[in-house]
Structure 1
C-alpha cells in the first residue's frame, strides 16, 4: 500500500496508525500494566540524558555497521518479538519480514504466521522468541522449528510468568478475533492445574508452569544457537545465567506490560555492562522512538536496540513499506546524532557523549 504523506518521525507513524487500526486493537497494542508507570518511567529515562555535541571531530569513513552474535548488521536497530501482527495487516508477520531490511526480525512464539513461512519471504536474518512451555517436549519442538527455519538466535522471555491484561484493553473489550491465532502453539498442552495459596487462583496455575533455573541449564544444552534472556533486571541473576553459558540479555519491561513498578531498562544498562563485560551481548528494548534514543542506549552500554510497537505502527500504515520506512527514519536519525556528537562509528559512542541522567 502507498504511504501517506507527512511521515517524518515515529510519532507521525503512531498518529497515522491510530487512525487506521481498530480502536480495541489499538488499546491492546498501546496498553500497559496498572497505570502505565513502567512505560512512563522508560520514556522519562531517555529524556533525562542529553547529548553533547562535538564539532571538529574527524568523521571520515563513518558508518553504523555492527557485528552482533555472528551477524553483520547495517545498523543496530532490530525488531522486537511482538505477537499477532495479523491484527493490523492481513499478511501479518509476512509483510513485516519483507520490510525488515538489513537487520533482524525476531519472530514471536505468539506470531500469527508460522516461522517457516516467514523465513521464506524475510528480507534479512531471523531470530526466534521463545516462551518456555509447560511441557519440555513442546519447548523443544519450538526450538527445533526455529533451527530448521535457520533462525540465528533465540530470545527466551522470562519476565511474564504472569502477564496482566492492560486496563486499556479490558475497557475496550479487546479479544483476539477469529482468524488470528498463535499458530506455533497449535496442539500444545495447556498450563497444568495447580493448587496454591494465592487469592487469585490463576496465579497458582501460571506460576506452576513458570520456568526455573534448572530449565535455563536444560535450554542451554538443547541448542547451539546463541541464547539471550529477555526481561531480567538484577545483575546477580544475569551473571548467574551467563555462567550457564548463555550469550546475552535483552533489557526490557515487556513494553510496560509486566511489572507495573519495573525499572527503566536504560537505567540498568551501565551496571549490567560493567558486570557482564564486553563479551556478552546486551540489547535494550523499550520506548526507543528516535535515533537520539538509539544513541543514548548505545552510549550507556547497549550493543543494539529493539523496536516493538512502532513496527506495528509502520505495518498498519504502510505494510512492508511502512516497516522499512520506519527503520529508515531511525537509522537516518541515528546517523545525524552521531555526526553532531562527533562519533564516526558505533564504537565511538560512549557515556562521555551524554550529560544528565
Structure 2
C-alpha cells in the first residue's frame, strides 16, 4: 500500500499526540514527577509540526511555517526542561522558550522568512542544541545507576546528530525556491525520525521514571528512616558479604549511654536529634569503606574492613571522645556518651558469631562504667 507524504505526516502527528497523552496519563499517576508533565506537553505541542506541513497550502503560510515551527522549537525546549527536572536541576523556562522566541523575531525579517535554507538551518540548530544538551544532562546524572540512562543518552544524541547532519546537507544541496515541502525527500525522513524519536523517548523516559521509583523503594526498604543509615537487615547483609571478601575486619557495636533519660528529660525531638547527630559524627570520622547501620533504638554497628586491632581501637576511642565532647549551647544540661564493643574478624568469620562477641564486649563496657571501649577476647576469636 502506497502512502503519500501527507498521509505520513498525519500519521506522525497522531502518533506524537498519542505519546504526549500517554506521558500526561502517566503524570496523573505520579504527580510529583514534573518531568512527565513537561514531556507530555512537549509531545502534544510537537504534534503540530507534521500537521502544519501536511496542510501546507490549505492554511495560511504564517500558521504552517512560522507558528507551527515556533511551537515545535518550544517543544524541544520543554523536553530539555523535562530532563533537567528529572535530574533535579532548576527548570529554565526562559531558556526553554528562547529558541522559539528568536524564531518568531527572525520570521519578522523578510530575508529570513523568505529563505528556506535559513529557516531549515536555524530550526535544525535549535533542535540539535536542545536534544544534545538533554543528552548531556542525562549523562551528568550517571552516578544514579539507572538501566535506561544509556539508552536515553543515545536516543537524544542520535536525534541531535540527525539535525546537525541536516545543516551541511541543506548548504550543499539547497532546496529549490518555492519548493512544495510534500515533494521533498526530507519529509519522509522527518516522518520516520519523528516517529522513532517520539516512541523511543516515551519508552525510555517512562522506564527511567519507573527505575528511579523502584530504586527509591529499595533504598527505603534498606534504610533507617530517621538517621538515613542502613537498617539492621541491610547492614547484616552488607557486613556478611564484606566478611566473605576480606581476611581482616573489625565490628564495632555502639550503645548510647542512658539514652532513655535523654528522651525523658529533654523530649523525643532532642533524642532523635542526638541519634541523627551521632550518625553524622560517625560518618564524618570513619573511612569511606566503613559500613554503618542502626540495629534498633540507640544501638548502632559499624564494620571496618581490613582494620587492624590497633586501628579499630583508635577509631573507637576517637568516636567515643568526640561524642562525649559534643555540647549544645541551648541545652547546657545535655550530656551524651557512648559505650563501644569491638570484635575482630579473621579469615571469613561468621557475622552472627562476630555480633555475639562484639555484644559481649559491649556488655563489659556498659557494666564497667559506660563511656568506654572494650575489646572481645582475641583468643576466643581464634
By relative contact order (CA 8 Å, sep 6+), the higher-ranking structure is: 1
Bigger fraction of residues in helix? 2
TM-score (norm 2): 0.21
Q: Which structure has the larger Rg over C-alpha atoms?
A: 2
